[in-house]
Amino acid sequence: MEPVLQCKNLNIAYNGHTVVKDVSFDVMPGEYLCIVGENGSGKSSLVKGLLNLVPVRSGSVSFAEGVSGGIGYLPQQSPIQRDFPASVEEVVLLGCIKNTGFRPFFSKSEKKTAEENMKQLHIFDIRKKSYRELSGGQQQRVLLARALCSADRMLLLDEPVTGLDPIVSSELYSVIHKLNHERNLTVVMVSHDIASATANADKILHLDEKVEFFGTADEYLDSNLGKRFAKGV
C-alpha cells in the first residue's frame, strides 16, 4: 500500500535558525498520527511545512495522487479569528470555497456538504448564530466542520483543543477519532496531550527539532522517552 504522505529529510529554518531538522516519516491511508513534543520543538512549523505554508530549506514532502486536493486544515486560532463576524453556516461554507472557482455563490452540492458536516459536528441547530458569540468548544466544532468541507482524504490539525476545558477537549478528541474511523480520514494532529495522543493515535512522532521517536503508540509508551513524557516529565 502506498503512503498518502511521505516526508523525507525535511529542514525548515526561520531567519537562519533551524526549527525542523532532517525529519523523515510517512503516513499510510486511514492512519492517525499525533505529533508531540515540548513547546518550541517545531511541531507547528512541521505541519505548515507539509502544507507549503512556510518555506522549506531542503528535503521533500509528497502526497499520494489526489490527496493534496482533499486536505482539511485546522490551524491554531488567534484572538482576532475568534471574533470573526459571520454566522456558523457562513464560516463552515468557506471550507468549500476552493471548489467554487469563479462562481460568486455556493452550489447545492456544496451547501449539502456543509449541512452534513454541521450535523455530524452537532452544530446544525446553531447554524444561524454568530460565530463570535459561541463558546470556545463550539467555535472549534465550527472550524472542524469547515475543515471537513475541504477534507475527503486527510485532516491536519494543529493543537485543536488549545484553551478548551478538559470535558470539551475530550469531546473534540472523540469526534476526531470517530471521523478517522467512520470516514477513513487520515489524521495528522499536533498535540500536547500525551494521554489522549497515545489513546487515540495509531502512531506517534515525537519531535525536538529532529525526530526523537516515530512508531506505534504502544511502542512509544514502552520507550524511555514515552514513559518520561507520559508522566509529565
For residue 95, being part of any structural domain is answered with yes
Quick one: pLDDT at residue 80? Answer: 55
Residue ending a domain, choose from 152, 170, 202: 152
147 with 76, same domain: the answer is yes
203 with 221, same domain: the answer is yes
Quick one: pLDDT at residue 205? Answer: 98
Total tally of structural domains belonging to the chain: 2
Closest CA to 188 of 170, 207, 212, 171: 207
Which domain covers residue 58, as residue numbers? Answer: 1-67+155-162+188-233
60 with 82, same domain: the answer is no
Q: Is 108 exposed, middle or buried (CB count within 10 Å of its CB: 0-12, 13-18, 19+)?
A: exposed
For residue 182, being part of any structural domain is answered with no
Residue-wise pLDDT tens for the chain (233 aa)?
Answer: 899 999 999 999 988 788 999 999 999 999 999 999 998 899 999 999 999 999 899 999 999 988 877 899 998 876 656 677 799 999 999 888 776 555 566 789 889 999 999 999 999 999 999 999 999 889 999 999 999 998 888 999 999 888 888 888 898 999 999 999 998 999 999 998 999 999 999 999 999 999 999 999 999 999 999 999 887 64
CB 130 within 8 A of CB 87: yes
41 with 80, same domain: the answer is no
CATH number at residue 197: 3.40.50.300
DSSP 63: E
| Distance in angstroms (rounded) separating the CA atoms of residues 217 and 198 | 5
| Distance in angstroms (rounded) separating the CA atoms of residues 117 and 95 | 11
For residue 170, being part of any structural domain is answered with no
Residue ending a domain, choose from 100, 133, 152: 152
Strands 32-36, 154-158: pairing is unpaired
For residue 92, being part of any structural domain is answered with yes
Quick one: pLDDT at residue 208? Answer: 94
For residue 183, being part of any structural domain is answered with no
